[in-house]
A and B are shown apart, each in its own frame.
Chain A
Amino acid sequence: MNKGAALSTAEPKGASRWALRMHSLLIYVFFYAPIVVLVVYSFNDAQLVGDWRGFSLGWYEAFLDNDNIQESIWISVKVCIASTVISVVLGTMAALSLERFRWWGQKAFDAVLYLPIIIPDVTMAVMMLAFFNETSQLLNLIPGVDLSAGLEKLVFSHVAFNISFVSVVVRARLANLDATMEEAASDLYANRWQTFRRVTLPQIMPGIIGGALLAITLSLDDVVVSSFVASVGGTPISVYVFGLARKGVTPLINAVSVVMLSASMLLILASLGFQRATQFAREEK
C-alpha cells in the first residue's frame, strides 16, 4: 500500500495529535471569541463596554426605546431587499449575456462590469455622490423615484456594486453548465424562454441564491458608500452604528449587534431548513 495514502487516512498520534487539536481550538477561539465577548457585554450594566458592572437588560430596553435605531434598521432592510432583488435580476442577465452570447463591445462591458469589485469603496462612494449630483434631476423623472428622500440613492448605489458580485457568482455556475443542454431543450421544441425557465434557471439557481446572499450581506455591511450617499433622516443601521461608535462605544452598540446577529442567524437557519425540505420533497417524489 502507498505510504502517503496510509498516513493521510490514519489518526494522528502523540504530539502531532495534540498540536492539531490546539490548532483547531485556536482557530475557533479566533473566530468566535469576539462574538462571545460582544454578546456577553451587551448585557453589561455599565456605560462603557470594557467595564463589567453586572447583568442587565437595560441596553436592550434602550434599543427598543430608540426610534432612530429602529428606523435605521428598517431603512437597511428595505434597501437590502430592493437592491438585492434588482441586482440579482440584472446581474443574472449580465452573466447570461456574457456567457451565452457574442456581441459588439462585449469585452469592454466584461471589463467594466467587474470594476466595482476592484476599485476601493471610497472611490466608489465619491463616484456615486458625483453621479447623483449630476443626474438627480434626470433620475427624479423616473416614476416613483424621489432622490431627495435618500432611500433611492442608497438602493441605486447598492445595486451598482452588487450587480458585479452577483454576475461573478452566477457566471461561474453558468460556465460549468453544458451548453448542449440548452441545445437539447431547443431541439425538444422549447423556445428561448422555456429553455431558460425549465433548463437553465433550475441549474444556475444555486449560483443565483449564492449571489443573492452575497448581495444581502454586502448591502447590510456597507458603511462607506452608504455614508456618502445617505440623506439626513435616511441613515442605514451600519452608518448609524458607525456614528454611535465615534461618540464612544456603549453596550447599546453591542445590543444592536446582537439583534442583527440573531436575525441573520435565523435567516441562515431558515434557508438551510428550506433547502433540506425541498431536497426531501424531491427525493420522495
Chain B
Amino acid sequence: MNHSSSAVELKNVVKKFDEVTAVDDIDLTIGDGEFFSLLGPSGCGKTTTLRMIAGLELPTAGSVLIHGEEMGLKPPNKRPVNTVFQNYALFPHMTVAGNIEFGLQMQKVPKEERSELIEWAINLVEMDGLSHRKPTQLSGGQQQRVALARALVNRPEVLLLDEPLGALDLKLRQQMQIELKNLQREVGITFIYVTHDQEEAVTMSDRIGVMHEGKLLQIGTPEDIYERPTTRFVADFIGRSNFLEATVASENEVVLSNGDRLQLQSDHETGESVAITVRPERLTIHKKRENSTNQHQIDGVVDSVVYLGNAIVYSIAIDWMKLEVRSSETSNSRYSIGDEVTVSFDPSYVSVVSG
C-alpha cells in the first residue's frame, strides 16, 4: 500500500497512562475507503488507539498520519476525522437537526448548504420526520442513527466508530451491522471500527486488526484471521478452536504428542513446542478405520453429543485430549456416546501457533 492511498497510518505508536502501557508500539496502515476493525477484549488498547487517531488522546511516542499528513499535537477540531461515540454523546439540549448541524456551523458552512447537507444526512440514516425531536425522545437505535448522521454530515476523510452498536439488542445490532456496511459502501469513507465482538468484525470488515494487551497481534482479512491465525490468542478469540500440542521437527514438519508427523509450514524454530489449531467444523468424523484419502487421521471415542438443530457438536476423546468436532450432518450417520470413531482433517486448514 503506497503513501497516497493510505487513509491512516500509525508508526510505532505508544500510549502510556502513568506506568501502564495501554498501546504498545503499534504499526498500522489503513487504506483509503477501507472498512477496518480493531478487535480485541476490553482493556486491549483498541479504544485508546482510536482516540489517538481522533486526537482525543495524544501518543506518548510515535506518530499518527492522516492521508500522509502528520497529526502531531493537533487537537480533535483540527483533524479531518469524525467519531461515533460508544454512548453516542448526543447534545441533549439540541434537536436532532441541531445535533447534525453543529459540526457544519463550527466549520462555518453557509446556511443553505447546511440545510441541504442536513437533509442528505437525515435521509441517509432514514430518520425523516424526526428532525425536531430531542435525543431523549428517541430510542437507542434512533439515537445511534443520529450519532452517525452527525458525524457523516461533515464528510470526514475517516469515520471512527467506538463500539457504536454495543448498547443495542441483538436483533437490532445485526440489522445495523448490515446497514453500516451498506452505508460505508455508499459514502465511500474509510471506517475504523472498534469492537470486542468478533462476529461483528468478521461480518463487516475488509480487514481486521486483532489487539491484545496493547499489542497488534495480527492484521488480515476476516478469512485470514479465521482460517490462518498466527497466534494462539487470535485463534482462541475468534471462533472456537482445538489446540493440539506439537513440536517443530523441521521447517515443514511438526510432530504431534502421539508421534504422528504432519507436513506443515511454520517459521518456528526446530524443537520449539507449538500448538496446531484446527476449527471444529474443519474436523470430519468417520466410522473407525473408514478411510479418507490425503487427510490426517486420529482415532478416538465419542465422549458427548450436543444437538444444535443446524449442527451437532461432538466431543471426541483421543489419547491425550478431547477434540471438539462440529458436524453439519444432522440426520445420517449420527454417532452416540461410546462409539469408536476416527477424526480426520485436511492439513491445509491447520495453523501452527506458539504453544
Taking beta carbons and an 8 Å cutoff, which residues of A are in contact with B?
Answer: 178, 180-181, 183-191, 194, 198-199, 202-203, 285
Contacts and interface: CB of A to CB of B under 8 A. Distances in A.
B91 A187 contact: no
Contacts of A203: 92-93
Nearest to B51: A183
Nearest to A186: B76
Contacts of A183: 56, 76, 83, 85, 89
Given A183-B56, A183-B76, A184-B83, A189 B89 contact: no
Contact of A190 (B93, B106, B151): B106
Contacts of A189: 77, 103, 106-107, 154
A187 B82 contact: yes
Interface in B70-91: 75-77, 81-83, 85, 87, 89-91
Given A183-B76, A184-B83, A189-B77, A194 B106 contact: yes
A113 B250 CA distance: 72
Given A187-B82, A203-B92, A178 B87 contact: yes
B47 to A, nearest CB: 11
| Max chain A Cβ within 10 angstroms of own Cβ: one of B77, B150, B151 | B77
Q: Pick the 5 closest A-B CB pairs, nearest first.
A: A188-B103, A189-B106, A184-B89, A180-B89, A186-B76
B91 A199 contact: yes
Contacts of B56: 183, 186-187
B233 interface: no
Given A187-B55, A188-B150, 11 more contacts: A178-B87, A181-B89, A183-B56, A184-B83, A184-B90, A186-B75, A187-B77, A187-B82, A188-B103, A188-B106, A191-B77
B335 interface: no
A188 B108 CA distance: 12
B54 interface: yes
A180 B90 CA distance: 9
A68 to B, nearest CB: 47
Nearest to A183: B56
| Max chain B Cβ within 10 angstroms of own Cβ: one of A187, A191, A202, A203 | A187
B50 to A, nearest CB: 11
A188 B93 contact: no
Q: What DSSP secondary structure best describes chain B's contact surface? A: loop
Interface residues on B, range: 20 to 34
Contacts of A285: 95, 132
Contact of B76 (A187, A194, A202): A187
A186 B77 contact: yes
B11 to A, nearest CB: 23
Interface string B9-24: 0000000000000000
A185 B76 CA distance: 9
B102 interface: yes
Contacts of B81: 187
A130 B77 CA distance: 49
Interface string B120-131: 000000000000
A140 to B, nearest CB: 43
Contact of A188 (B82, B87, B92): B82
Contacts of A188: 77, 82, 102-103, 106, 150-151, 154
A185 B77 CA distance: 8
Contacts of A194: 106
| Max chain B Cβ within 10 angstroms of own Cβ: one of A180, A184, A190, A198 | A184
Nearest to A181: B89
A263 to B, nearest CB: 32
Contact of A187 (B54, B87, B93, B132): B54
Given A181-B89, A203-B93, A187 B102 contact: no
A181 B91 contact: yes
B281 to A, nearest CB: 40
B87 A190 contact: no
A189 B55 CA distance: 12
30 contacts: A178-B87, A178-B89, A180-B85, A180-B87, A180-B89, A181-B91, A183-B83, A183-B89, A184-B90, A184-B91, A185-B102, A186-B77, A187-B54, A187-B56, A187-B76, A187-B83, A187-B151, A188-B77, A188-B102, A188-B150, A189-B103, A189-B154, A190-B102, A191-B75, A191-B77, A198-B102, A202-B93, A203-B92, A203-B93, A285-B132
A101 B90 CA distance: 22
A187 B102 CA distance: 11
B83 to A, nearest CB: 5
Contacts of B54: 187
Contacts of A186: 56, 75-77
